[in-house]
Amino acid sequence: MARTRRREIKRVPRTDAALPEYDRGALPEGLLTRRQLRAQGLSPGGHDPVGILRCKACAYRPQWSCIHPTRAWLYSVHRARLKRTPTLAQERALDQAMAARQTCPRCRRRYYFCLPLRTLGCCLECHDGTPADPTSYVAPPGHALAA
Ligand SMILES: [Zn+2]
Ligand SMILES: [Zn+2]
């Protein structure tokens, strides 16, 4: 097999480029790369890039459009959306907050609903002996051993 022919890179004058191109350090406000969006907890939300962040090498060829792999797509922060899916850490924090409101400090059962901890300070069964529905809670770990 002959050596791979050097691919001719199609250069376009910057004025003919499909998307406006911007140099690093001269970005208009509100345009961010995908990575910068992610750092703010945002995602493009399905909108197409609105510009191109030119690579460093192209700073020396301002009249040509950048077709290099190190260029980056730019998205409008005004059309970006908040990422819906919470991170694992956020989910864990949420679960810990819920666990605190659903666990009885006396019997250590974790109920599937929030307990009146502010008024009673414990579950109903611990408060006045009203038996709790066994399907409404998870027994604390080690409960069988302690019994
Ligand atoms: Zn370039
Ligand atoms: Zn209890």
Residue range 97-127, pLDDT digits in tens? 889 999 999 999 999 999 999 999 999 999 9
Residue whose entry in the numeric block shows the structure tokens 């609105």: 50
- Length of the chain, in residues: 147
Return d(Cα 110, Cα 101) in angstroms, integer.
9
Ligand 2 centre distance from Cα of residue 91 (Å): 26
What ligand is nearest to the CA atom of residue 60? 1
What ligand is nearest to the CA atom of residue 106? 2
Ligand 2 centre distance from Cα of residue 127 (Å): 7
Residue pair 43/81 in contact (Cβ under 8 Å)? The answer is: yes
The one-digit pLDDT tens for each residue of the chain (147 residues) are 455 555 556 788 988 888 999 998 888 889 999 999 988 888 998 889 999 999 999 988 889 999 899 999 999 988 888 877 677 787 888 888 889 999 999 999 999 999 999 999 999 999 999 999 999 999 987 655 444
What ligand is nearest to the CA atom of residue 14? 1
Task: Please give the helix or strand (H or E) that residue 32 lies within, else none.
Answer: strand 31-33
Distances (CA, A) of 40 to 75, 89, 103: 13, 16, 34
Alpha helical stretches, state H, 3-147: 34-39, 88-102, 124-128, 143-146
Ligand 2 centre distance from Cα of residue 19 (Å): 64
Q: What is the pLDDT of residue 10?
A: 73
Ligand 2 centre distance from Cα of residue 106 (Å): 5
